[in-house]
Amino acid sequence: MSRLAKSARGAALGARLMASTILFTHHAFAALPGDVKLPDPYVSRALDAVLMPINGHVRKAFKLDKKDEGVLVLSVEPGGTADKRGIKPGDVLAAIKNHKIRKPMDVDILVYYWITHGQTDFPINYYRGGDYLVDSGFIVTSDEYNAVIDLVAIGSWTAWSFATSFTYAEFYSEYSSVMVASYESSETLIEQEAASAEFAAEIEHEGQDTDKDGIPDGMDPDDDNDGVPDEADADDNNDGQPDAVDSDDDGIPDAEDTDDDNDGVPDAEDTDDDNDGIADSDEADSDHDGTPDDIDTDDDNDGIDDAEDTDDDGDGIDDSAEAEDDGGDDGGDDGGDDGGDDGGDDGGDDGGGDEE
């Protein structure tokens, strides 16, 4: 089936659904106690499944374990790809082909990328009922990926039966418009992301095995096997040189990454690029090198390590004098200049260099 025909059919199905279903515009799921605000669901072209990103609300509402990282499978199409390959509602997809799944669209981007490169095998890592499972024989063919999903039927897909007030039928009624929108808009976004140099660089990084331990870096929590987890390691590959800041550990330095924390929100629109819980406008970047002062070892880029520099931000005021201004110090090198001076950072992007 041609791409034009596929898109046209999807739009027609969407119109049928819009005409036949009562749709809600808010996103607080009233069927869960406290009017829980669940994140938008996503219809996966590759798996014929409805996926949901995992945040605090989802983890709490569905009682997920802390180790369950990835995306939650809410429902699968009977006889669809996920169903045929043994993926069940309630599973948490952690990684596919050594690529960590951080947001639902990652699944489709990865599958599309490799299918266009002639590969159809997708070893999948997932959690089920507290167990960590690996299916090394998971296959998605080009025909399966390109098959049109009947959007009207999604409400009757096999769904997760959960012992709370969650009801998939009610959830579908409330979020069906979001599902239609995600399906209709995802095709172009998937193709653009899969064709980007940034994604190719990420794939290359994930396929490497820095410490030769048999675990690709994309899945290895300690790439150089030095006992320091990558997220806390300033030198992941143990080459003796500090790594460029890479908030999402995707192999692309934040200065070149258009989505520093890989949360699906472009840095140009994201108010917390590195996902550290501090708004970008509150983070100082004295030398505007794309590395916030709180994690930069040379805030003013003068070649003197902050630990030895008496004027970290290069504003001509000794750090000790700035500390006296507010009675504190900068023991944590938070870049706040200890006297309320933000080092000249205008509150813009903390992932600098990747936006205009």
**Tens-place pLDDT, residues 10-51:** 444 444 333 333 222 234 444 455 556 778 899 999 999 999
Convert the pLDDT of each residue in 175-210 to its tens digit.
999 899 889 999 999 999 999 988 888 877 665 556
Residue with the larger pLDDT of the pair 290 and 132: 132
User: Which pLDDT score, from 0 to 100, does residue 128 have?
Assistant: 93
Convert the pLDDT of each residue in 110-127 to its tens digit.
999 999 999 999 999 999
Q: Do the Cβ atoms of 113 and 203 come closer than 8 Å?
A: yes
CB neighbour list of residue 243: distance below 8 Å, 6 or more residues apart: 233, 234, 235, 236, 237, 253
User: Which pLDDT score, from 0 to 100, does residue 264 have?
Assistant: 59
For 3-194, which CATH superfamily applies? PDZ domain (2.30.42.10)
pTM over cut 0.75:
no
User: Which pLDDT score, from 0 to 100, does residue 6 have?
Assistant: 42
Convert the pLDDT of each residue in 257-297 to its tens digit.
677 666 656 777 777 665 554 566 666 777 666 677 666 67
Q: Do the Cβ atoms of 303 and 292 come closer than 8 Å?
A: no
Convert the pLDDT of each residue in 229-250 to its tens digit.
656 666 565 666 665 666 665 5
Determine the Cα–Cα distance for residues 150 and 12; give it in Å rounded to an integer.
Answer: 10
CB neighbour list of residue 290: distance below 8 Å, 6 or more residues apart: 245, 253, 254, 255, 349, 350, 351, 352, 353, 354
For residue 57, name the pLDDT band (cuts at 50, 70, 90): confident
- Mean pLDDT across the stretch 325-332? 45
Determine the Cα–Cα distance for residues 210 and 200; give it in Å rounded to an integer.
Answer: 18
Assign 140 to helix, strand or coil. coil
For residue 168, name the pLDDT band (cuts at 50, 70, 90): confident
CB neighbour list of residue 195: distance below 8 Å, 6 or more residues apart: none
DSSP state of 139: B
User: Which pLDDT score, from 0 to 100, does residue 280 have?
Assistant: 66
Percentage of the residues of the chain whose pLDDT score is greater than 70 = 56
- Mean pLDDT across the stretch 58-85? 91
Task: Locate the domains of the chain by residue range.
Answer: 3-194
User: Which pLDDT score, from 0 to 100, does residue 301 have?
Assistant: 78
